[in-house]
Structure 1
Amino acid sequence: MELHSKDLLSLVCIILLLPALCTSQDGFTYSRATYYGSPDCYGSPKGACGFGEYGRTVNDGSVTGVCGLWKNGSGCGACYQVRCKIPDYCDDDGAYVVVTDFGVGDNTDFVMSPRAYSRLGRNPDASAKLFKCGVVDVEYRRVPCRYSYNILVKVHEHSRNPHYLAIVVLYVGGTTDITAVELWREDCQEWRPMRRVFGVVFDYENPPRAQINLRFQVNGQADWVPLKRPLPSTWEAGAAYETDIQFD
């Protein structure tokens, strides 16, 4: 029921935002943004993408929830440049944010962490005024994510070797969306789909008891990208494993 409800909310948000979704000549799309409460101004480790602590601190805590850009969870991890449109208050470059959550605001595309929202302002006084506004007009565009790491596959804490495997995909660079994940079954000699549980959490019941080979489908294309390093047969819940791949 949870995924079905989010799909419906996404549809509602898209309909509400249709009048505002006009693209400017420099590639920006017009919308609105607000922020959510946070005791330390960072993101939430309970975000709907399933990132956990990574979702709280990635990009120095400049993170956001999205509505129409959610894409049934494949929008998780995407990076955007967001600029507000109030003269004399707004920074020319705006905020660079990473999607870590699903969020619905007042006809908004972005529900940002306080840390991210403050970066819309050109100085602390201007940022304080934006916080008083609550919701501001913005323009945004998708930009490449840039990390000094290769993609990591983290084994979700709920996994139990060898009976149940769930993974979270971290540090996806470029403008790449992970739309599907498959797992190789040596006994069947075929790739089997992993289930998208929510966000970027994928799982598989009774996985192979040997090392685990995975591959990604990116941006809905027909081609698949195999991981250069399989997960070891001794994989552990909570551990993160190097893939030796990254997208530009």
Structure 2
Amino acid sequence: MQVRRGFSQVLSFCLFLVFECLFVSAQVKHLVSDPHWRPATATWYGSAEGDGSDGGACGYGSLVDVKPLRARVGSVSPVLFKNGVGCGACYKVRCLDRSICSRRAVTIIVTDECPGCSGAHFDLSGAAFGRMAISGEGGQLRNRGKLSVLYRRTPCKYPGRNIAFHVNEGSTGFWLSLLVEFEDGDGDVGSMHIREASSGQWLQMKHLWGANWCIIGGPLKGPFSVKLTTLSTGRTLSARDVIPRNWSPKATYTSRLNFFS
């Protein structure tokens, strides 16, 4: 009896370890945060205390001028822009010169591309660039122009906001284009699917440019559910009937959920 009981206890402990490892593995798979800082360079553009560009190669338009994107926008080199699928990703960036740089990092959101930039490079808004300085030295830091920095991925956080889908101008029942907004967590989109309410089939959308996706078919009839899969970790979220039956171009439709909600 004691041998059998001892075996049972050992077996239970082993099973516990297996399930614990599987749980930790699943958690690690879904982490976008990178603990490793990597070298890069950084510049700034626009006005000294400005929010950065209007619009940008990701297609966010006037969203870059208002919170939560305001003053956190960043134009990145092609290796980080990834032909547009890097749009929406968030990074922490900090400079290295202790004589003028703060130890804290700034968090930026990829909203634009710097096509002529090589390697890992961040072209930040004047406001974001200046925030890397110690108190009162933002102007002096901007005067240096180009800096050596460290960067790492970090989860995007949009408290109080859910994922939204902007129907792009020109969309019809035969060509539907969507812009993804306020995706927290990974921030980037690896694939998108759409489903008509009358159908059980998910239809794959095509990456168009920046954070814009489209589907050609038809006639497409709403309401539509939209499924997102992130590029970084492959997490999936489905927003049921988020785009109504009487949808219209240039309208934005907000879902009831987000990756961190």
1:164 corresponds to: 175
Q: Which runs of 5+ in 2 are unaligned?
A: 1-33
The answer on whether the counterparts of 2:174 and 2:220 sit within 8 Å (CA) in structure 1 is no
Distance 1:44 1:163 in 2: 33
Distance 1:26 1:178 in 2: 22
Root mean square deviation of aligned Cα: 2.5
Alignment of 1:79-158 (within 5 A): 79-103=90-114, 104-105=116-117, 107-124=119-136, 126-148=137-159, 149-156=161-168, 158=169
Deviation at 1:54, TM superposition (A): 1.0
Task: Please report the TM-score for the alignment, with normalisation by the length of structure 2.
Answer: 0.76
1:51 corresponds to: 60
Cα pair distance change 1:85/1:223, threshold 3 Å:
closer
1:241 corresponds to: 253
Q: SS where residue 69 of structure 1 aligns?
A: helix
The worse-fitting range, judged by mean Cα deviation, of 90-99 and 220-229 is 220-229
Deviation at 1:135, TM superposition (A): 0.6
Q: SS where residue 143 of structure 2 aligns?
A: helix
The amino acid that maps onto 1:61 is A
Residue 177 (str. 1) matches residue 177 (str. 2): no
Deviation at 1:89, TM superposition (A): 0.7
1:201 corresponds to: 212
Q: Which runs of 5+ in 1 are unaligned?
A: 1-24
CA deviation string 1:11-52 (max 9, x = no partner): xxxxxxxxxxxxxx9521111111122497113233111111
Aligned length: 222
Cα pair distance change 1:227/1:200, threshold 3 Å:
same
Distance 1:107 1:134 in 2: 17
The amino acid that maps onto 1:155 is V
Aligned with residue 71 of structure 2, among 53, 56, 61: 61
Aligned with residue 46 of structure 2, among 37, 42, 64: 37
Cα pair distance change 1:106/1:211, threshold 3 Å:
closer
Q: SS where residue 147 of structure 1 aligns?
A: coil
1:190 corresponds to: 201
The worse-fitting range, judged by mean Cα deviation, of 171-180 and 38-47 is 38-47
Q: SS where residue 154 of structure 1 aligns?
A: strand
Q: SS where residue 167 of structure 1 aligns?
A: strand
Distance 1:231 1:217 in 2: 18
Q: SS where residue 87 of structure 1 aligns?
A: coil
Q: SS where residue 209 of structure 1 aligns?
A: coil
Residue 210 (str. 1) matches residue 247 (str. 2): no
1:74 corresponds to: 85
Cα pair distance change 1:223/1:59, threshold 3 Å:
closer
- Larger of the two Rg values belongs to structure: 2
The answer on whether the counterparts of 2:167 and 2:176 sit within 8 Å (CA) in structure 1 is yes
Deviation at 1:187, TM superposition (A): 7.2
Q: SS where residue 70 of structure 1 aligns?
A: helix
The worse-fitting range, judged by mean Cα deviation, of 83-92 and 213-222 is 213-222
The answer on whether the counterparts of 1:34 and 1:105 sit within 8 Å (CA) in structure 2 is no
